[in-house]
Structure 1
Amino acid sequence: MNSIKAFAPATVANVACGFDIFGFAIEEPGDVVELRRRDEPGIVITNITGDEGRLPRNPEKNSVTGVMLHLLKHLDIKDFGYEVILHKNMPLGSGMGSSAASAVAGVVAMNELLGNPLTRQELLPFAMEGERIASGSAHADNVGPSLLGGFVVIRSYHPLDIFTIPVPDDLYCTLVHPDIEINTKDARYILRNEVSLKNTIAQMGNVAGLVAGLMKADYDLISRSMVDVIIEPVRSILIPEFKEVKTAAISNGALGCSISGSGPSMFALSRGRDNAIAAGQAMQARFAEAGIDSALHISGINKGGAKILEH
């Protein structure tokens, strides 16, 4: 095998109350990586599409190739070189796990080309390095679901302990990306370092409630638990019309609505595709009233995660 093409899906991280510990994958959009073996040593990025020239071409500074370099070093493979083409199919700074999708597609492609020496779980720390390259923080709430699929819970980072939980089959995600950009580093910088005991207790209850609601297919409990009293009040000020868009989603059938990742994308969860579409159209309409264009994605929970498109 001398070439491979891999796809990694967009993701919703935090999922309201689960800052840095919850995330789930959607069906699309996602990034595609083409990887080809070559005789000369080293990794070369031959092309990146969809980034408007903004991403670094230096392999050590790009999340897609940075993870490949870490993987090759770990496996002590020096026999061949590789050329990489990255197709960016989602906006940068979108809150949809853009850098995570690139990293995951890259590490999955490389692992496949090498004969799959590592399992998906074993690839997680390498994919997380892509997040460190992109944002300075090796969090797993985007790379985890993009790599593994499904709804992911990060129980611990030290040591890394990640697992998936079952979700109802008719649970749908509405993801709306307004035509604005928020830098992940900036969105993390504005967060408070200390949280009150009152808010901590409230957040812990919502985290437990959301997990239980998803596993029991209890939609009322899911709805009651999609409340973030710690992160959303701070980050929402960076998103124009946030409160109005959230109200529009819930008024049109959504169980709950919050910020996707660090924003500016907003997501809603709904019971059934029709409710998800209605919520999305209402969210887009509210952004449009404020003169903000947006893109809409409707998806069930992607339970498969990253996949190989062709050899």
Structure 2
Amino acid sequence: MKKESIKVFAPATVANVVCGFDILGFAVNEPGDELWMETSDKPGVRILSINGDEGKLSLDPQKNTVSASVISLLKHLGREDVGFELKLTKKMPMGSGLGSSSASAVAGLFAANELLGKPLTKLELLPFAMEGEALACGHGHADNVAPALFGGFTLIKSYEPLEVIALPVPKLFCALLYPHVDVPTRDARQIIRSKVLLKDAVTQWGNIAGLVSSLYTHDYDLLGRCLKDVIVEPIRSILIPEFDHMKTYAMENGALGFGISGSGPTVFSLYRSPDDAQKVITNLQKMLADKGVKSNIYLSEINETGPVVL
């Protein structure tokens, strides 16, 4: 049997998008994960190496999102006779709120599906990506894996049944700043209020609806007015150093909106101009450095393709 190999890239993602807790997300071109996968005569999935994870990720195929989702896929297809060997390169920080586990799961599924001759559509791959996400953080939400898989902006309309809507992508530049502080996803979820005031819920619904509308109409002013969260951000932001100061500076210097990426600690801001985005993110990094907090910064347009073959 002739061996076949493939190398793919899967993008990082921004989940929630300020007001869209657990239902909105978008993909970015940078950072992301790279995966090399090769067919094998020996059935099963084996991880040969992982780079860029500082030794934190398990090489056990059942315990790693990149392989566990592929194992589930092969079982579903009745192709447990197939063998894959893979090498994962993490080119994004883990536990950052950038969908690190989602990118790995999507990379594995996309690569395996390509090598198998594309038996499933991206929509059909989504539940397997959600399984990988559940393994990593305890919740099988799609607000990271859906945009990582489809690219662009996605709306999770419902989970039962699973319904994902691709939204239009206006020309936007996203600046990301990852402060080197620890905000575990599970902990960030636990501090969220279990009850919400009706007036806050009404405000949030209006912002979500307005945000979706602004993507269809490319109305940047409306988009900026809707990137507000009165429910989750006020609580989660206390876990992120200098959040309020960073937000104020960004909004005063060209940002359409500023918020927490996923559960944090990464923060993101959206701009019409790449020059504004670069200037703001550089100054925010300096602001944190002056407080003794190191950080990584990234600047990217919205990724409209999802995973790609390299």
1:254, 1:278 → 2: CA distance?
A: 11
Q: Does structure 2 retain, via aligned residues, the 8 Å contact 1:246–1:283?
A: no
Following TM superposition, by how much is the alpha carbon of 1:237 offset from its aligned partner in structure 2, in angstroms?
1.0
The counterpart of 1:107, out of the listed 106, 109, 117, is: 109
Q: Counterpart of 2:34?
A: 32
Q: Counterpart of 2:259?
A: 258
Following TM superposition, by how much is the alpha carbon of 1:285 offset from its aligned partner in structure 2, in angstroms?
2.3
Following TM superposition, by how much is the alpha carbon of 1:197 offset from its aligned partner in structure 2, in angstroms?
0.6
RMSD: 1.1
Q: Counterpart of 2:63?
A: 61
Q: Counterpart of 2:271?
A: 270
The yes-or-no answer on 1:231 pairing with 2:232 is yes
The counterpart of 1:98, out of the listed 78, 97, 100, is: 100
Q: Does structure 2 retain, via aligned residues, the 8 Å contact 1:173–1:299?
A: yes
SS, match of residue 50 in structure 2: strand
Q: Does structure 2 retain, via aligned residues, the 8 Å contact 1:268–1:279?
A: no
Q: Return the letter of the residue paired with 2:279.
A: A
The counterpart of 1:139, out of the listed 138, 141, 156, is: 141
Unaligned ranges ≥5, structure 1: none
Q: Counterpart of 1:188?
A: 189
Q: Counterpart of 1:305?
A: 306
Following TM superposition, by how much is the alpha carbon of 1:73 offset from its aligned partner in structure 2, in angstroms?
0.5
Following TM superposition, by how much is the alpha carbon of 1:259 offset from its aligned partner in structure 2, in angstroms?
0.3
Q: How many residue pairs get matched?
A: 308
Q: Return the letter of the residue paired with 1:36.
A: E
Q: Does structure 2 retain, via aligned residues, the 8 Å contact 1:179–1:292?
A: yes
The yes-or-no answer on 1:243 pairing with 2:244 is yes
The counterpart of 1:123, out of the listed 119, 122, 125, is: 125
The TM-score normalised by the length of structure 2 is 0.97
Q: Does structure 2 retain, via aligned residues, the 8 Å contact 1:250–1:279?
A: no
Which runs of structure 1 show a deviation greater than 4 angstroms over 4 or more consecutive aligned residues? none
Q: Does structure 2 retain, via aligned residues, the 8 Å contact 1:38–1:82?
A: yes
Q: Does structure 2 retain, via aligned residues, the 8 Å contact 1:34–1:84?
A: yes
1:280, 1:215 → 2: CA distance?
A: 27
Q: Return the letter of the residue paired with 1:287.
A: L
The yes-or-no answer on 1:153 pairing with 2:166 is no
2:10, 2:163 → 1: CA distance?
A: 21
Following TM superposition, by how much is the alpha carbon of 1:78 offset from its aligned partner in structure 2, in angstroms?
2.3
Following TM superposition, by how much is the alpha carbon of 1:147 offset from its aligned partner in structure 2, in angstroms?
0.6
2:96, 2:87 → 1: CA distance?
A: 21
2:82, 2:22 → 1: CA distance?
A: 37
Which range is displaced more, 38-47 or 5-14?
38-47
The yes-or-no answer on 1:15 pairing with 2:17 is yes
1:249, 1:265 → 2: CA distance?
A: 14
Following TM superposition, by how much is the alpha carbon of 1:181 offset from its aligned partner in structure 2, in angstroms?
2.4
2:280, 2:272 → 1: CA distance?
A: 11
Following TM superposition, by how much is the alpha carbon of 1:24 offset from its aligned partner in structure 2, in angstroms?
0.5
Task: Show CA shifts across 1:120-160 (max 9, x none).
Answer: 11111111111000001000111111110011111111111
2:295, 2:221 → 1: CA distance?
A: 29
Task: Show CA shifts across 1:67-122 (max 9, x none).
Answer: 00110000000223221111111111011110000000000000001000001111
SS, match of residue 88 in structure 1: strand
The TM-score normalised by the length of structure 1 is 0.97
Q: Does structure 1 retain, via aligned residues, the 8 Å contact 2:169–2:304?
A: no
Q: Counterpart of 1:202?
A: 203
Q: Does structure 2 retain, via aligned residues, the 8 Å contact 1:66–1:130?
A: yes
SS, match of residue 91 in structure 2: coil
2:214, 2:67 → 1: CA distance?
A: 38
Task: Show CA shifts across 1:177-218 (max 9, x none).
Answer: 111222111111211221111110010010011111122111
Q: Return the letter of the residue paired with 2:238.
A: I
Q: Does structure 1 retain, via aligned residues, the 8 Å contact 2:61–2:68?
A: yes
